[in-house]
Amino acid sequence: MELARMQHFEDLAHEYGAPLYIYDSSIIQKQYTRLFKAFSSVKDVKLNYACKANTNINVIKFIRKLGSGLDAVSIQEIEIGLKAGFSPQEIIFTPSGVNFNEIREATKLGVKIHIDNFPFLRKFAQEFKNYPIGIRINPHIKAGGNENISTGHVNSKFGISIEQVQDIIKLTQEVSLHIEGFHIHTGSDILDIDVFLQGAKVLFAIADKFPNLTYLDFGSGFKVPYKPDDKQTNIEKLGEKLSDLFNQFIEKYGKPLRLIFEPGKFLVSQCGFFVAEVNVVKDTPYRSFAFINSGFNHLIRPMFYHAYHNITNISNPAGKEQIYDVVGYICETDTFASNRKISEIRMGDLLCLENAGAYCFSMSSNYNSRLLPAEVLLLNGKAHLIRRRENLEDLLSTTIDISI
């Protein structure tokens, strides 16, 4: 991290308090442009931001301005998307195992819908005969950087099995189903582009059996770098190969189809930085622990996914490197990094965790009755507060104090 950025983040932490989430919109724009350009040889491409990665309405509004649609997995994400300015037809709702009332509500709002089970397909056909839908397919492809983020394998809860495609065809002969597209998503942090090409062949084989489609949705799962010189999905090479396959298929299919991707982490992971203050450095005969004023209540990925976040001491970047465990203040083990080389850490220093834009604040909680931090968005280099720090009144606002 360059010195100017470190100084800027240190100033922001002093202004807004630490811990603090900081998002750089220029990085989001760079990632969006890169992905869109990689598939420029396809006539109709649409990127739908997977907003579960980061649901701050200002982040969503910025991505909408870039030309993106929205991928939502809950009725609340749909409602946030509508408030952010998306039209209903720009939103695709891809839930998993929700109550059918959410599906009903989504139809009232007029958004596109993906369904991934037969009971709901049949029920949907009975209640909404002329409403077009998409179907999520489980391609039986095991991929992803972690078991918890592998979603397309044979034992996954997501999607209708590829072995049941004939049952979908049979169902369309029994009930009125207006199927407009198919969707797959095999997992996250996928490095091997052959996984995506394999998924494409699965989708093409299914689409061949349904002559009236308007789109194919390939989900996402592109790997981003987490450390210097880390490997990442070769988006340019993937764009070249998958675009050729897609263009060949639509020529064979005989009508135009839209190619959809649903990037989440790819767009916002690298834009995010989490700055926390060091409470104390505790030396033992075996370890040096740097305790920060945060925990897995604010950033759970290292504990949940064993995810790596590069950590820089922005208060003492030129200090001599030493080995630390960076840990939190929660009453369970909440280790952000083990045996990590970091410039000498002192009480009161500010540490910055990178790749904090995706699945960080959006997965935070009030565990241990801790308050959620503020969020700041950098637009053209200028900082804008987009979520204030919580206070105790916020924490108690939904509770009802009864006489006991």
Task: Write out the catalytic residue numbers.
Answer: 331
Peptide bond into 317 cis (omega under 30): no
Judge whether 359 is annotated as a binding position: yes
Q: Which of 24, 33, 25, 29 is nearest to 1 (CA)?
A: 24
Place of tokens 């091997």: 192
**How many other CB atoms are there within 10 angstroms of residue 241's CB atom?**
16
Judge whether 301 is annotated as a binding position: yes
Token pair recorded at residue 377: 């968005």
Burial classification of residue 212, based on how many CB atoms lie within 10 Å of its CB (0-12 exposed, 13-18 middle, 19 or more buried): exposed
Non-local CB neighbours of 255 within 8 Å, separated by 6+ positions:
none
CA distances from 37 to 40, 42, 195, 240 (A): 5, 10, 21, 10
Longest dimension (CA), the chain: 72
Please give the torsion angle defined by the CA atoms of residues 88, 91, 96 and 99, in that order, rounded to the nearest 10 degrees: -10
Judge whether 136 is annotated as a binding position: no
Kind and range of the H or E element at 251?
helix 235-253
Between CA 232 and CA 234 the distance in angstroms is: 6
Between CA 234 and CA 80 the distance in angstroms is: 32
Amino acid, single-letter form, for residue 402:
I
Known binding residues are 221, 301, 305, 332, 359
Q: Which amino acids are annotated as binding site for pyridoxal 5'-phosphate, given as ranges?
A: 221, 359
Residue stretches of the annotated binding site for substrate: 301, 305, 332, 359
